A = this chain, B = another copy of it.
Amino acid sequence: MDAEIIAVGSELLLGQIANTNGQFLSRQFAEMGINVFYHTVAGDNAGRLKSAIEAAEKRANLIVFTGGLGPTKDDLTKETISKHLGKKLVYDEAALASIKAYFQKTGREMTENNKKQALILEGSEVLPNDHGMAPGMVLDSNGKSYMLLPGPPKEMNPMFVSYGHKSLMGKLDKHEIIESKVLRFFGIGEALLETRIADLLDGQGNPTIAPLASDGEVTLRITAKNESREKCAELIQQAEKSIMERVGKYYYGEGDTSLIKELVKEMTARGLTIASAESLTGGMFQEQLTTIPGAGKIFKGGVVAYSTEVKEKVLKITPETISSHGVVSMECAGEMAVNIRTMMDADVGISFTGVAGPDEQEGKPVGTVFIGISIGDKKPIIERLNLSGSRAQIRMRSVKYGCRFLIRRLKDLI
């Protein structure tokens, strides 16, 4: 099955938002074994949307629309498809009822334009909207399937997972299975990693190996096709083995994970608690740690010591350390890690101090970063980094390096 995803909305063409719906659906389709050869974005304009539909019909047998199902005048996806396919728009009673219920539940004021959201293409399968008002729908016409989904991700994503996915699985021919596995690497550039595995990339057929660099990390997606799930797993395992032989030392996890998730996993497995003292990262390490439900089991708390005054007064960094070495120093990072651990009565203390930019500090160049790790009564270990990139990149990479250092420390790799 070949799909094309058409995102509808002038806000996309004006650059007010990115097409994250295209990304979400593409990932879902990749896992379902549905090919996606094109994404198209069209504005809130019936004529141009119609021509996008005609182009898609030439190259796909599943056309998925997101956006333009809302209450306002410029929402015209249903209307355009209705005219294009010659199908009537009719009120869906269940949708109308749930729209009314939604307004009662949220206590918001129901306006007339909201009723329009209960209109569906006659003869289509309705996809309920558990997080908003506009229902989605799937219509089969002239040997093609048309799926309409709402634009807001918080409505579209759960609608697809709960109802759209099932509806499509029914249409899929099951002969070929596609399995893929994502391996995540940190601390090596894309070109260098690809050179190290060049022989595998050149020789690839089934499975395929697709590298991708983002946020200072590189991922390799191994994708295998076969009629048997077992054979797919075997093909992936062989490729993975060869990859790890070459660049295994930079590997940190697989699939939908991140360095911070891996850190929480390692800390939880060991029943250890952590506290953090942050300067240049301004609380980013703690903020990311606490995005993960259950982080409360391992995270006690932390101090963001942005001013030197707070480093002395709250974190109790000795004035001598600051006067003789500065706040951006091995010595300061070490004291920060030890003091936050004892202050918060945690098993592990981690600290971040450095120069995020745009200006240098204490004569130290932008990108100079010190990360301190204090475990129990052991002598603290301090890592020095010289990072490049923007202020945001330096802060983000500092947090990632902090996670990697600590994970390795916990595993006694360093």
Contacts and interface: CB of A to CB of B under 8 A. Distances in A.
Contacts of A343: 314
A295 to B, nearest CB: 8
B15 A30 contact: yes
B290 A300 contact: no
A392 B16 contact: no
B283 A302 contact: yes
Contacts of A214: 16-17
Contact of A309 (B219, B286, B345): B345
A386 B376 CA distance: 40
Given A41-B22, A307-B301, A345-B309, A283 B290 contact: yes
Contacts of A290: 281-283, 304, 306, 395
B19 A191 contact: no
A263 interface: no
A72 B27 contact: no
A219 B16 contact: yes
Interface stretch (A5-13, A224-232, A247-255): A5-13
A18 interface: yes
- What is the count of identical protomers in the complex? 2
Interface in A255-313: 275-276, 278, 281-287, 289-291, 293, 295-296, 299-307, 309-310, 313
A23 B198 CA distance: 33
A143 B321 CA distance: 66
B18 A191 contact: no
Nearest to A188: B108
A52 interface: yes
A211 B152 CA distance: 13
A97 B295 CA distance: 49
A20 to B, nearest CB: 5
B48 A38 contact: yes
Contacts of A324: none
A146 to B, nearest CB: 19
A200 to B, nearest CB: 12
Interface residues of A, number: 105
Contacts of A211: 72
From A27, A201, A302, A305, residue with most partner B Cβ within 10 Å: A302
Contact of A301 (B276, B305, B357): B305
Nearest to A202: B73
A300 B309 CA distance: 8
A92 interface: no
A71 interface: yes
A318 interface: no
Contacts of A181: none
A87 interface: no
From A42, A202, A301, residue with most partner B Cβ within 10 Å: A301
Given A38-B40, A301-B305, 18 more contacts: A11-B210, A12-B23, A13-B37, A15-B30, A16-B23, A19-B22, A38-B41, A38-B42, A71-B191, A72-B190, A72-B191, A73-B202, A74-B210, A293-B358, A296-B307, A302-B303, A304-B304, A314-B343
Please provide the 8 A-B residue pairs with the shortest distance between their CB atoms, ordered closest to farther: A282-B290, A15-B27, A283-B283, A15-B26, A39-B41, A283-B286, A301-B310, A18-B23
